[in-house]
Amino acid sequence: MAIFKGAGVAIVTPFKENLEVNYDKLGELLEYQIENGTDSIVICGTTGEASTLTHEEHLECIRFTVEKVNKRIPVIAGTGSNSTDTAIYLSTEARKYGADGLLLVTPYYNKATQRGLKEHFTDIAKEVDLPIILYNVPGRTGCNLLPGTVASLVKEVDNIVGIKEASGNISQVASLMHLTQGDIDLYSGNDDQIVPLLSLGGIGVISVLSNIIPKETHDIVANFLEGNVTLSREQQLKYIPLIDALFCEVNPIPVKKAMNLLGFEVGGLRKPLTEMEPENTQKLVKAMQENGLKLI
């Protein structure tokens, strides 16, 4: 059984003015997501600025989220690392806290071979009895997890059950689904490709867009899975300009700006991320207003 079907939010990590993690605000965001139909919380992913959290902060965010959500919807913990030992440590701790699943990004910077990737994920999976979603985002990691490698992992490792595909390469995703014979839970990692990946057998999205319009993102997936493909496609296309604006600078710079414009008060960014450029802010504001979002 899949960890979830539908739209999972790759939730931001809110900061106080001094850039400490704002757990009170995180609690508010979690409630907002659940109230608006989000199907799963993905904590400490790219959007959550996990790369600049200390290990202690990283694990406390996972613990806090699991406790706050309290099994109302699944919580998936981002516990990937470019060090296999570190990923094992974070993953085993997340399991102790009660996470429902793990999201494991491909090792970044190291540029592991396909053999190295297979051994990396296999070693982690052996140490933790939780369902695992692989995360392929070569544009950020410099490392592409190829379909043959994924197919081998899914066949040989019982608790590797899914993949968040953010390569942007539809042909690669089609090859993946062919080689796995659909025996993998496919999630779009790109908000502008939700419907295309659903059409190849996907069951959901792990979304940045859900931070600001959770119900609408949920509906794109729900309508497709219920057979309302035309409506799902119309909704996907409607939000393309907004999605483009959310990625006109590196994620999560624009989505945090968008949330602050909406009054969520999620704070700033930890360096080396910096505030959004004025011209890009104008583009984001325009896209948000065109979609009827009320800015403060």
* Active-site residue list: 135, 164
Q: Is the dihedral of CA 20, 110, 275, 210 positive or negative?
A: negative
Measure the CA–CA gap between 121 and 124, rounded to whole angstroms: 5
What span, in angstroms and rounded, lies between the C-alpha atoms of 239 and 213? 10
